[in-house]
Chain A
Amino acid sequence: MSEVVHTFTTTVPRWQPYVVPVDFATATDEQHAAMQTTPSNKGISPYVLTLAHDPETLAVRSPLFNLIMYGKDGLAASERELGAVAASVVNRCVYCAAVHASRFNNLTKRTDVIEAVFADGLEATLDEHLQAIFDFSARLSTTPPKAVASDAQALADVGLDELEALDLVLSSAIFGWANRLMHTLGEPMKD
């Protein structure tokens, strides 16, 4: 029996769309071209086939997403993932949180940070460095964004340089985008 997953988990669920995805076999040339690059190189998933309904946007979004999350130098990959997790907690995208929390755990070889975030949500207490990153990202993710100068200063105070801080802005913001697709066009299922 499949059931919808409502609580945060690091076990990545199966994403099931609310709309009928594009059928790959009958997709247009433009849709096929837009599916050539996929987010996180995860292949032609039901998510990508759903987004193929808007191929003009998909063709730009996948390379943009991959550059922001997996581009070289700048902010550590794990810290980009933490920015993604913070946004996903604010927007309660259980699927996005699962994917990026498990990536954080794999990159850092620790589980205590995500355990704290999943247990206490936006009130989670982390070490000073990760706290500054998590709080900045969470406060940028609300509508309207409530991050203020002291949140940005906290990033500098824990040692982030301009490029690293910019990468955190971008990785938080791109999850303002990803969450609004994943969480509103479908739901996470446990089979």
Chain B
Amino acid sequence: MTLIETLASVSPGSALAEAVGKRAEILRLTEAAHDAVLLPRDPGGLSHGLRAALAARMARHNRSPALASHYDTLVARAGEAATALLAEPDTNVTDPRTAEIVRHADRLTLAPRDATRAHVEALAQVGVTDADIVRLAELAAFVNYQVRVLAGLKLLGEMR
């Protein structure tokens, strides 16, 4: 069973469970996307530990304790002391490159509508490469997608 199905705990045999079964390929690809953004073979300039901590932080911004807990497990597994604290919102580090990445991750989660060219330029100025800017956007975009699939499934499950 995929992570989202586990966390949504859809009642077996329900009409919603049947619908989820018809969308099994979508859930399988969602799980594959999780692995691609959290545990990529080539992490570039965003370590697995930083990715997990940012994902946990995004889950908390979205009030999703179940996903935050899942990402805390990945943070622990990565064992990267310098970035683990970032899993909690309103924290940051002194290293200017990582600090700018964290600020952008918060913006991508909380207020993507406010994002501008200047924010991408600010990332470039502290040495974040174009590839890492794309990787960061994919990470935030995926986690925010995942949060909403889970939240929506839970609403449908509770109703019926």
Interface residues of A (CB under 8 A from B): 18-20, 50-51, 53-54, 56-57, 59-61, 63-64, 67-68, 71, 73-74, 90-93, 140-141, 143-145, 147-149, 151-153, 156, 161-163, 165-170, 172-174, 176-181, 183-185, 187
Q: Mark B107-126, 1 if CB is under 8 A from A, else 0.
A: 01111110101011100000
A-B contact count (CB 8 A): 173
Contact between A180 and B137 (Cβ–Cβ < 8 Å)?
yes
Q: Which residue, A50, A64, A153, A184, has most C-beta atoms of chain B within 10 A?
A: A184
B90 at the interface (CB under 8 A from A): no
Q: What are 19 inter-chain pairs, A to B, with CB distance below 8 A? A: A18-B117, A18-B121, A53-B135, A56-B36, A143-B61, A147-B152, A151-B155, A152-B155, A162-B19, A163-B23, A165-B19, A169-B149, A169-B156, A170-B23, A172-B148, A174-B145, A176-B145, A180-B137, A184-B137
The minimal Cβ–Cβ distance linking B117 to chain A, given in whole angstroms, is 5
Q: From DSSP, what is the main secondary structure of chain A's interface residues?
A: helix
B88 at the interface (CB under 8 A from A): no
The minimal Cβ–Cβ distance linking B113 to chain A, given in whole angstroms, is 4
Chain B residues with CB below 8 A from A53, complex form = 130-131, 133-135
